[in-house]
Structure 1
Amino acid sequence: MTQSTALYDIPGPHTRKRHLLYGVLSTALLLALVGWILYLLFDTEQFTGTKWSPFAYEGIQELLLRGLGNTLKAFAYASVLSLALGGLLATGRLSDHRVFRWVATLFVEFFRAMPVLVMIFFIFVALKVQPLPALVAGLTLYNGSVLAEVFRTGVNSVDRGQREAAYALGMRKTQVMTHVLVPQAVRAMLPAIISQLVVALKDTSLGFLITYEEFLHAGKLIASNLDYDLPFIPVVMVISPIYIGMCVLLSWFATWVAKKERRSPKTKAVEVPPAGPGTLLPGGGPPAGP
């Protein structure tokens, strides 16, 4: 006999054995895949000293650090401007004026549908803008348009009763938006916002196509060096964990912010002891009768 809960039946002994077998087989397949990849890497001599020797030189290390700094600089500019542009466009799309809604909708739909690389190339080549501003502008236009939809959807997801109650109290639309709707919508929007910022962080790698000296551009210079036997795979194995680490840190920071908001002392209720017979109210009057 198997016990049950409100959601599912607790597995019995035969089911647990079957699940254990599935787990063992899956683990064996994953280990076999990892072993096969390692065999290919060793077979193609990707771990030779010649291919890994460039990372021991101070000049190569400085090149990678400079590229990483340029990547973070482009991401910082693009993320701040994208959030600002997204908020502005979302305000336009939520406006009561039809003209503002149409203009904001046209802007959002156009730049959200345009490939990021096309926008970057157009700004860099046609408008003759320097690599960093061209990269930041392209990332801002695309990610700002996507974030505008995230902001608009998040605000509209708040219970309609919250909006109506605020208007009933005599609050203006700006006050309703800033004090009632946006604070509640931020918690729902935060995962989508962080996901889009991660996309912006990874898209900074497109800068190497317009000769912007970011992290991937530095890796390309090292990987194409014939003196080190074209160390493409070692460069990928060094750069990829750093990109992954930056994305994980960004997600961790968002989780930390969300937990800090939930632990805010402003949201804690004050415990009021039950009133006994003859207890006076805080104002000094007698307790209300039944």
Structure 2
Amino acid sequence: MRTLNLKETTSKSSFLLLAISTFILSLFLFTSCSESESIDGLQDDTTLIEKIESASKITVSDTDLPTSTSIAFNGDLADSFVTNVELASGLGYKVAIETDNEAREESKSDVFFTLQGRQLNDTNERRAKKRRKCFEFVFPIDFIMPDDTTITLSAKEDWTLIRAWYQENPDTRERAQLVFPVDIILKEDGSTQTLIDRDDLIAVKQNCRAGKDKRKCFKLVLPVTFTMPDASIIEVNERDDFKLVREWYKDNPNATEKGSLNFPVDVEYRDGTVATIEDQTAYDAAKESCRD
């Protein structure tokens, strides 16, 4: 058996050390390069959006958008539909969109795409705020469509069902109506709130825009009852029972009146205090005081 001398051992050790050092240096350079490319990519998107915004544009059909835009419209933009498309020649597309997702702070906003159909990463705070959400709906939720049919969304991906309905009914301009009551989860603290009607929804959205406490000013202490327009009584003993009210509206899409809350009721304010409200006038006054 051959025995390595000191010189050969030292040479092999040096070679191994060099190899390890080269590997570590390569890994560092690769990581740094990847981070740099990510930052440069973000800067490139911002620059391209600015160029599209300032360039002369022509209006084109939404059917002219590259097919790869479907990735965005089946993902984060699943709740949105296109209202206008502008092409900046040699640069990309500016697309005006609207949404039926009332969790969004604004119903209208703009998004941008490359000529190949990749959605550009928009860092503009004003535009980003329009699409920001301060709460998420608890699914399922229901919409009554203009033809009085009902579409139930069981997950966020199902927003495309609303868009598909309008694609099949292109002459319809009336928008879908969200069926109340609905539960929402506030992004601020993860709490669940039940919105009884559109007034509750408007109040939450106003607080979002104003940067105020997003929680409802007060909630109903259960059980409560509702008298529906057909004189039937629905008793709500726990939060899940609010779906009984929603089911009534789904079964009666032509109803023009709202169910009425039967008084007196107890309400619990944010600070934990409980008060008794005797009639609708006092209830409306309590809701109004929350806005002050």
Could you tell me the TM-score, scaled by structure 1's length? Answer: 0.25
More strand by share: 2
Could you tell me the TM-score, scaled by structure 2's length? Answer: 0.25
More helix by share: 1
